[in-house]
Structure formats: structure tokens, C-alpha cells
Structure 1
Amino acid sequence: MKTSRQNIEIEKGHAFVTIGMFDGVHRGHMCLVNNVVKLAGDTGGISVAVTFEPHPRMLLSGGDINLRFLTSLHEKEYLLARAGLDHLLVLDFNDQLRMMSACDFVERVLVGMLGMKHLIVGYDHHFGYGGNVNSTTLDDCAGRHGFDVSRVDALVDGDVSVSSTLIRQLLEEGELGRANSLLGYEYILKGRVVEGKKIGRKMGYPTANIEPDWQFKLIPADGVYAVEVTTGENLYKAMLYIGTRPTLETGGNRVIEANLFGFDGDLYGKDLTIFFKHRIRGDMKFSSSELLSKQIAKDKDETLQLLG
């Protein structure tokens, strides 16, 4: 897959396009992307996804530093490339683009830049200034510019539609299993190992203190998780803690610590990728460090059982 931030050189009338933020690149998104890839493949066309950076919510919120998202742009690239997409066009979401009407966006970008043949959108998709496009508007634009429009129904799992908003909520509430099911893969966190207080080492469980590589990455609910961690080419089973260490500190900062099973070495400055498999329990405050140590031993046993 080729990623472009400006023009894409595609022969006019060959682009099969979908648009979205694709936060999480979840199963619902994959229904759209798979449709684009199949339609393009069946007719010798080119499959294209159009997305925006930064997320429009960041601009519309005035730069709210508390916003959190499921995937960084690099993670989206990786996940979309796995689907067999030909091109990813990343547009700079600025005030000029924000104020552009839906028809202007179609004319200038989708038709003018991409020479779009077919647009595939979700059931609730909206774009243009104020989200002012509707089915009639889109069909009118299609008629004027000679492209086709297909709409993909919502992907329903149980009694809910799969959405990025729902998945973010589930992760924040500690419902990792359900979130992973809707994502279609295990939630990922990338980060770098930084200097810590070495509290875990003193308790017999040396940990790597991890600083996420993207400040807007959503961190799952506090607690203990069974995870797998990659350090370059090596994969380790591990126990991960997220929380403020209430037994050992008062008013401590939130930390992310991983105890890698079978690892003996120095990880400082290394980049890690964490795959969230299971949530063991929520964060807890114990009356003594001894009781905490006993619980950690139980957590490790359960983690090993779950990871096999």
C-alpha cells in the first residue's frame, strides 16, 4: 500500500474510494475497505481510502489534550495495508478543508484529484462543512460528475452497531474481551521503555516502565492484563499493570509497567509493542506490600494459564 499526503497519480475513472477516520480500523471499517478492495479487484481498478490528520475532533475542540483515540496514523497504515488496499490518501485537516462544502470536496478532491469512479460509504457517513452531505446531495454530485455510489450497512454484533466510540468506551470500562471482539484483533499499544523507580524489581517482579509513543493513544482501564510484548524480533508473554500504585504511593502518577516472563536484560530506550490479550483484574489497594506481592504471584499464575 502506498501512502500519500498530496496527489495520487491514478488514471481517471479507475479509483474506487472510501472515506473516513478509521479510528481503530475495526470490523465495521473492514466491511467498507473489503468492499472497496473487491470492487476494484473485480474491474481492474485501484482501491483508495481517504482519511484525515489530525483527527477533526482535535481541531474542532480547540486542541483538547485530553482527547484519546484507538490508533495512530502509523497503526492505521499497518492495519489498512493488511487488507490489501492500494492507496491511502492522508489529507491535512485544516480550517480550509473544514470549511469546504461536501460538493466542493467531491469536485476538488475525489473527482479532481482522484478521478473517482465509485464511492463506497457507510450507512451513517457524513462529510463536508457541518457534515452537510446527505443521500440526495451525494447522489446529485454523483450524477453531475459521473461516479457511482454504494452504501454499506452497519455491522451489527449482538444488538449493537460496531463503532469506534463504543470500542473506546469498552476499553475505558475494562471490557477488553468485548473490545477486542469488535476490533477484530487484539488492542495494540506501542511505547518506549523509560527509567522507573525500580519498585517492581525490589518485590521480585522487575518491570519495564513504558511511555506511549503517541500522547493521544487511549490507554485501557487501570488493572492487570495478560499481554504479549515484542521487542524487535522477540516475543514474550508478560503481565502488564496500568494504574497509580495505590498500595505503594499516594497521589501517584498513572504508570504502565510490564513484567516480561523469561527476559533477563536491559530494555531502557527500547521500543515495545504490547498486544492486550486478557484483563486479569482491576487496580486494587492492599493494606501491605506483602499482600500486594501475594496477589501479584496469583496474577502471574493466572496470566501464564491464560497465555498457555
Structure 2
Amino acid sequence: MKIKTTLEAYPKTDSVVTIGTFDGVHIGHQKIIKRLVTIAKKEKLQAVVLTFFPHPRMVLQKDANIKLINIIDEKSQLLENLGIDHLVIKKFTRDFSRLGALEFVRDVLVNKLHVKHIIIGYDHRFGRNRNANVDNLREYGEVYGFKVTEISAQEIDEVAVSSTKIRKALSQGDIETANAYLGYNFMLTGKVVKGKNLGEKIGFPTANIHIEEPYKLIPKTGSYVVKSKIDDVTVYGMMNIGNNPTVSGEKQSIEVHFFNFKKNIYNQKIKVELLKRLRDEQKFNSIDDLKAQLSKDKLTSLNFLEQNNV
């Protein structure tokens, strides 16, 4: 898969295109992308996903403060795994949002992406003030010579999923529901940085994960069972998201204790997948009480992994 950050960088190659923010690349999105790839192979076209960053709500609703399920790197990898040929990430601006439906179709889809076929969800709207729909797209298709395939309400609604529902589940700590809607494990990607080394002192050394992107959604505070792939080896562990109230922590941290793992991974970028939520964050009366709870958490985590044949 090739990533383009401008429309001009796309080669002059006929394409089948789908359009959207695709935050989460969830099971509903995956239906659309799989149809895109199938049609591209059948019609010998390039499979192209046109997406936007920043998210339109970040630009048009300055106070929205929306948090996203995926950072760009995560979304790119998920889309590549689905078999697309090109990911075009168009910078979303206020000026771009004012582009009329005709201008968008003619200047972006036809002249820049050389579209011959568009795959779109039944409820997709586009153009200035989102005033154009699939019917308008079909009319433009007759003028400019491209086909339109609509993913029906029945096809998409049968999975009853949306990025909004997933964000809500994550904010409530309902990782099992979020993962079911996503069709993969929700992930956090960041660099391992130095912490206070408290975990090491009490027998539970942790990797402190720094997530650079301020727009990344962080799930509800608490402890989770997690897995990660480090140097091509899958490792499991437990992660705490919170403020370390037992030791008077002042800002949120994300710390992972990997089981049976001793490698130095400082400054390494890792991806941590969340499998199950263990409990809320707690304030303990002493370090010994904290240590005892961590031992219980480890046992619960190992039992969960064993029961699920992980």
C-alpha cells in the first residue's frame, strides 16, 4: 500500500474509490473496504481510500475536542491489512469544507483520483454543508463516466456499529464490546519512556508508554490484560491507566508490566493491544497492599489468558 498526503501525489491511474474518516476501521468500515478491494481486482482498477486529517469535527467544531480511536499510523496499518493499493490522506481545512458537491466530484475524484467506480455507504453525504447524497453522486457519475455502488442500509446496519458507539464503550472501560465492534483488539501505540521505577522496586517493573498524539482516545482508567509484539515475539502483561493515587501521582500515566520479560525497551515504539479490563484504579493504604493487589491481578490475568487459549 502506498500513502499519499496530497491529491497531486496520486498517480494518473484509474481507480475505484471510497471516502470517509474511517475512525476505528471497524467491522462496518471493513465491509465497505472489502467490497472496494473485490471490485478493484475484478475491474483491474487501483483500490483507493480517500480519508481526511484532521478529523472534520476538529476543524469545523473547535470546541468538539473529539478523541479518535486510531492515530494515523494505526489506521494506515489496518487499511493496508485489508488489501488497498493507495491511502490518500487529504488535509482537511475550512476552505476544503466549502467545496461544493460538483467541485468535489470534478476536481478531486475525477481530475485527481481518476475515479471509474465509487463505493459508498447508503448514508454518505458530501459537498459544502454535506448537502449532496448518493443520488447526486449517481447523477455526476453519468456526466463524468464513473459507476456508483451503494452499500445498503441493511448490509451496514446488520452489524449495528459506529465509531461513536466504540468511543463510548472505551470511555466506559467496556473493552470487550469495543473489540467486538472493531473486529480486532483496541490498541495504544507509543514510545517507552523512563518512569519513577517504583514498579521495579516492588517486583513489578513496568514500561511507561508515552502517546505523542493528543487526539488519541485513552480508555477509562483502571487495569487491563494486554498483549504486545516486541521484536517479533508476542508478550502478555497487565496495564494500568491512571494517576497512581497510592504514591500521589499527579498526571495520567500508562504503565505495562509484561510477564516473563526482561528486555530493555526504552525509547522503543510499541503497540499494546487491550484484551480485558480487570478493575478500577484504586488507592491503597500502603505499598504492601498495592503489591498484594498486583499479585492478584497477575493471577487473574494469567487465568484469563489460559481460559481463552491465548
Residue 53 of structure 2 aligns with which residue? 53
* Residue number among 254, 257, 260 corresponding to 1:256 in the alignment: 254
Using the alignment, how far apart are the partners of 1:150 and 1:220 within structure 2? 36
Alignment of 1:101-180 (within 5 A): 101-154=100-153, 155-156=156-157, 161-180=160-179
Q: Which amino acid aligns with 2:247?
A: L
Using the alignment, how far apart are the partners of 1:141 and 1:116 within structure 2? 12
The CA deviation string for residues 53-94 of structure 1, in whole angstroms up to 9 with x for no partner, is 221122113386x43101112211111111111111111112
Using the alignment, how far apart are the partners of 1:49 and 1:79 within structure 2? 12
Using the alignment, how far apart are the partners of 1:73 and 1:208 within structure 2? 23
Residue 303 of structure 1 aligns with which residue? 301
Using the alignment, how far apart are the partners of 1:39 and 1:221 within structure 2? 40
Using the alignment, how far apart are the partners of 1:187 and 1:140 within structure 2? 39
- Would you say the 8 A contact 2:134–2:150 is kept in 1? no
Using the alignment, how far apart are the partners of 2:197 and 2:41 within structure 1? 54
Residue 42 of structure 1 aligns with which residue? 42
Q: Which amino acid aligns with 1:2?
A: K
Distance 1:136 1:157, change over 3 A: closer
Residue 281 of structure 1 aligns with which residue? 279
Q: Which amino acid aligns with 2:24?
A: G
Residue 72 of structure 1 aligns with which residue? 71
Matched residue SS, 1:136: helix
- Would you say the 8 A contact 2:225–2:239 is kept in 1? yes
State which drifts further: 49-58 or 2-11.
Answer: 2-11
Matched residue SS, 1:150: strand
How far the C-alpha of 1:211 sits from its partner, in A, is 0.5
- Would you say the 8 A contact 1:232–1:272 is kept in 2? no
Residue 243 of structure 2 aligns with which residue? 244
Matched residue SS, 1:247: helix
Distance 1:207 1:109, change over 3 A: same
How far the C-alpha of 1:157 sits from its partner, in A, is 5.6
Confirm whether residue 209 of structure 1 aligns to residue 208 of structure 2.
yes
The CA deviation string for residues 124-152 of structure 1, in whole angstroms up to 9 with x for no partner, is 21122211112332232222222221211
Using the alignment, how far apart are the partners of 1:177 and 1:26 within structure 2? 14
Q: Which amino acid aligns with 1:74?
A: D
- Would you say the 8 A contact 1:19–1:50 is kept in 2? yes
Distance 1:302 1:93, change over 3 A: same
Confirm whether residue 22 of structure 1 aligns to residue 5 of structure 2.
no
Q: Which runs of 5+ in 1 are unaligned?
A: none
State which drifts further: 296-305 or 262-271.
Answer: 262-271
Using the alignment, how far apart are the partners of 1:265 and 1:92 within structure 2? 39
- Would you say the 8 A contact 1:232–1:271 is kept in 2? no
- Would you say the 8 A contact 2:238–2:258 is kept in 1? yes
Percent of counterpart pairs with the same letter?
37
Distance 1:266 1:136, change over 3 A: closer
Q: Which amino acid aligns with 1:72?
A: I
Using the alignment, how far apart are the partners of 1:146 and 1:110 within structure 2? 11
State which drifts further: 89-98 or 79-88.
Answer: 89-98
Residue 11 of structure 2 aligns with which residue? 9
- Would you say the 8 A contact 2:124–2:134 is kept in 1? no
How far the C-alpha of 1:174 sits from its partner, in A, is 0.7
Q: Which runs of 5+ in 2 are unaligned?
A: none
- Would you say the 8 A contact 1:231–1:271 is kept in 2? no
The CA deviation string for residues 265-290 of structure 1, in whole angstroms up to 9 with x for no partner, is 43322222101111111212233332
- Would you say the 8 A contact 1:231–1:270 is kept in 2? no
- Would you say the 8 A contact 1:186–1:277 is kept in 2? yes
Aligned residues: 302
- Would you say the 8 A contact 1:206–1:259 is kept in 2? yes
TM-score under structure 1 normalisation?
0.92
Residue 196 of structure 2 aligns with which residue? 197
Distance 1:186 1:249, change over 3 A: same
TM-score under structure 2 normalisation?
0.91
Matched residue SS, 1:124: coil
